[in-house]
Structures are given as C-alpha cells and as structure tokens.
C-alpha cells in the first residue's frame, strides 16, 4: 500500500533523507529504529505532507497514487495519519470539537455523511472505553496543559476515532509509563487489520513486545541500512547502533 523509492529530501538546503526505500503491504506493521537525527521524523512529516521539505529525488506511492502530489488534508482524508512526536497545543479549541471537525472534514471529502454531535459522542465513548482514557481530556483544549503522556494518549485516541488506513506513529511510546504504553499498544492492535498498515517509529524494543512488528528497519543517515524481523530490535538493544556501523562500514555517519 505504501511504496517509497529512493527518496531524497532536504530541509533548508540540507540533505536529510538520502535514498530511502521502503515498502509496506496491507496488514503489515513496520518498525523504524535509528539514532537521533537520522531522519525518522522527517520521513513522517514528508509522508503527512508538511511544507518546507524539498523532495529532490524519488517517489512515494500510496494505494496506487502519487502521495507527494496530494495536499496534507487530502492525504488525511485518504487515510494517512501521523501521530506526532511533539503533539501541538491549540489553546481555546475544545478537543472534542477539534476531532469532530477533523472526522467530518475527512468524511465529507470521501463523500460520506457527516456525524452529528450525538453520533460523534457515542463513537468517542466507545473508543475511550477500550483505550481507558479519562473523558476529562475531551473537555479540555487540544493538548493545552496536557502532560507528555496525556498528549501521546490523545494522539492514539485521535487515531482510534479517525481509523486511518496508514498510521505513522512517531515515538508515541517515548515518555510513557507502563500503563500508557499498553494503551498505545492496545490502540494499534485493535486497529490492526488486513487492510491497514503501520509505521512505528521508536527507540525502544519494549514497545515491540506489545506491538509485534512484521519488519524492523534501521534508519541511519537518511537511509534504511538494515531490515529484519523482530529479533533485529533485540540485537540492536544489546549491541547499539555501533554494531551496524561495524557490519556496514560507511552506512552510518
């Protein structure tokens, strides 16, 4: 469903992604690990359509379409979702209102009917229950004054409501206590289905105990330098990224 080929991206004239290739088939969960500054968040942003990233080479196809030619809100309507590494605060905008506006904008773009306040409330109640998120968060402004962990839970809650086809989770597990980690994993596992794909960016193999990936990639210096099954994450945890540099000299800077 997602085919990234030889992707080169630069920001402010600086090359960040340098020939990244990656393919995700429907139903698969891919994990991406890699050192700080390797370009993991950059990849997430480019896939979601953030401005300011120059794609200098390569292509990205999503469900048979040229993803890069779509506006970010069109990508969202077609099922691309990015859980932010640093979720953004929008003061004064009610969290529920925000999410309903988002869902209805997407539904409208897909030619589906919009949900009224009651239908939406019912939907959120269901999702909250399975994710054991306190509904207090719903009445507050979007991420305003949320703790780090609450922000991450809120991202997962949004994902659960929006039900994307392709979900990119950028370090959604960072800074979470063990219960919250289970919430995140639960959110992903519940959505797992033969049509959906996941790209899970993480620094910790612990998350992968709960979300078992089909493939683990190592992203270093703007490229995928190693791919393998879930045991790769364990090996990395044991040996660190130096291990890859030794095995593939010149791959990582």
CB-based burial label for 103 (10 Å; 0-12, 13-18, 19+):
buried
Residue 36 interacts with ligand ATP (CB under 6 A): yes or no: yes
Of 7-15, 63-71, 89-97, 176-184, the segment contacting ligand ATP by CB under 6 A is 7-15
Of 36-44, 57-65, 123-131, 136-144, the segment contacting Mg ion by CB under 5 A is 36-44
Distances 16 to 90, 154, 199, 219 between C-alpha atoms, Å: 29, 29, 19, 11
101 contact, one of ligand ATP, another protein, Mg ion, none, CB 5-8 Å limit per kind: another protein
Which residues, 173 to 232, sit near another protein by CB under 8 A?
none
Reading the block at residue 77, the tokens are: 């309507």
Question: Mask 81-110, x = binds ligand ATP (CB under 6 A)?
Answer: ----x-------------------------
Which one of 50, 140, 206, 230 is in contact with another protein (CB under 8 A)? 50
Pairwise CA distance, residues 107 & 114, whole Å: 6
- CB 38 to ligand ATP: min, Å: 4
Angle (deg, nearest 10), helices 117-131 and 178-191: 120
Quickly tell me which residue has 């469903």 as its tokens: 1
Answer whether 43's CB lies under 8 Å from 20's CB.
yes
Residue 96 interacts with Mg ion (CB under 5 A): yes or no: no
Q: Got the DSSP string for 60-129?
A: EEETTEEGGGS-HHHHHHTTEEEE-SSPPPEEEEEHHHHHHHHHHHHHHHTTPPPP-HHHHHHHHHHHHH
- CB 39 to ligand ATP: min, Å: 4
Answer whether 60's CB lies under 8 Å from 7's CB.
yes
Question: Mask 13-32, x = binds ligand ATP (CB under 6 A)?
Answer: -x-x----------------
Nearer to another protein, 108 or 122 (CB): 108
Reading the block at residue 96, the tokens are: 């529920």
- CB 119 to ligand ATP: min, Å: 37
Number of chain positions touching ligand ATP (CB under 6 A) = 13
Residues near Mg ion (CB under 5 A): 40-41, 85
Positions in the binding site for another protein (CB under 8 A): 48-52, 71-73, 75-77, 81-82, 84, 87-93, 98-99, 101-103, 105-106, 109, 141-142, 158, 162
């Amino acid at each position: 469903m997602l085919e990234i080929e030889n992707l080169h991206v630069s920001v402010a004239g600086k090359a960040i992604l340098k020939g990244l290739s990656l393919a995700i088939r429907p139903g698969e969960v891919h994990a991406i690990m890699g050192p700080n500054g390797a370009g993991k968040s950059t990849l997430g942003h480019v896939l979601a359509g953030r401005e300011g990233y120059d794609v200098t080479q390569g292509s990205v196809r999503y469900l048979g379409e040229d993803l890069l030619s779509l506006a970010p809100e069109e990508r969202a309507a077609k099922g691309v979702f990015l859980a932010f590494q640093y979720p953004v605060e929008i003061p004064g905008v009610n969290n529920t209102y925000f999410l309903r506006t988002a869902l209805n904008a997407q539904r409208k773009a897909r030619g589906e009917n919009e949900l009224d306040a009651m239908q939406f409330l019912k939907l959120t109640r269901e999702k909250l229950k399975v994710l054991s998120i306190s509904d207090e968060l719903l009445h507050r402004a979007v991420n305003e004054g949320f703790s780090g962990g609450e922000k991450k839970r809120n991202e997962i809650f949004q994902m659960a409501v929006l039900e994307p086809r392709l979900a990119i989770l950028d370090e959604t597990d960072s800074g979470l206590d063990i219960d919250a980690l289970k919430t995140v994993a639960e959110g992903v596992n519940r959505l797992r289905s033969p049509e959906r794909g996941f790209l899970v960016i993480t620094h910790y193999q612990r998350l992968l105990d709960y979300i078992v990936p089909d493939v683990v990639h190592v992203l270093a210096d703007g490229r995928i330098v190693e791919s393998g099954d879930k045991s790769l994450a364990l090996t990395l945890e044991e040996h660190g990224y130096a291990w890859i540099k030794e095995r593939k000299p010149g791959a990582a800077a």
